[in-house]
Amino acid sequence: MRKLVLAVILLFGVTIVNAQDKTAKEYKIEGADAYKAKDYQKGLTAFETAITLYEKEGKTDTTLYYNAGICAYKVKEYDKSVSYFDKAIDLKYKTCNAYLYKSNILNKQKQYKEMEEICNLGISKCPKYKSKFDKMLFNYNLKTGIGIYNTAAKKQSAAAQYATSNPEKYKSEMVKVKSEFKKSIPYLEKAHSLNSSDETCKKALKEVYTILDMSAKAATL
């Protein structure tokens, strides 16, 4: 019985040692296989382990940071993903894609100012990717502008009840309404500059110009 117990202990001991003997390269391969199988959490763990082992050896594998960034993005560990994409950018590995991923993450996190900064930086560094960054900026500005527009439209509808019954109140309410509509202009104009053929944007912007008595601008759309 004692020999059997000893044999079991030895067996597990060998298994543990073998697990610890895996190299950074083997973890990298494991991460790649997991990624192909769409097991992104396993891929992230493997890539991170490979990074740690390589760093202990004083080595840098540029591909690992980018791949870890994608896996972290897929499992919605966004802060971690950004840190890996920043590292990939520093190492000049797939810089343009890293900028795209980072700007998309910042958009998801509603860090819009930072997202715009990264998009503009991406455009300057990766002119061939301009259309992709422009699309992201367009979607953000249109969504924001339309959101403000819809809020103003609801207030305009609420104010309409006073048009006949209480003209003075209607007038004061419409001042507030126009002020609200005015807030949408920078976003809608930016969206229009990025995609002048978008009908939703043109229609909203034209209506805002009309409501604000900016007939000359409305006529250009």
Q: Mean pLDDT across the stretch 193-199? A: 97
Q: Mean pLDDT across the stretch 161-190? A: 95
Examine the pLDDT at 51 and tell me if it is beyond 80.
yes
Cα-flanking dihedrals φ and ψ of residue 60, to 5°? -135, 125
Q: 58-72: per-residue pLDDT in tens?
A: 999 999 999 999 999
Confidence at 6, pLDDT banded by 50, 70, 90:
very low
Examine the pLDDT at 12 and tell me if it is beyond 80.
no
pLDDT attached to residue 38: 98
pLDDT attached to residue 21: 75
Confidence at 3, pLDDT banded by 50, 70, 90:
very low
pTM above 0.95, yes or no: no
Confidence at 110, pLDDT banded by 50, 70, 90:
very high
Confidence at 14, pLDDT banded by 50, 70, 90:
very low
Examine the pLDDT at 8 and tell me if it is beyond 70.
no
Q: 69-102: per-residue pLDDT in tens?
A: 999 999 999 999 999 999 999 999 999 999 999 9
Q: Mean pLDDT across the stretch 192-219? A: 96
Q: Mean pLDDT across the stretch 171-176? A: 95
**Which numeric CATH code is attached to 22-125?**
1.25.40.10
Examine the pLDDT at 168 and tell me if it is beyond 60.
yes
Q: 18-33: per-residue pLDDT in tens?
A: 445 789 999 999 999 9
Domain locations along the chain: 22-125, 145-221
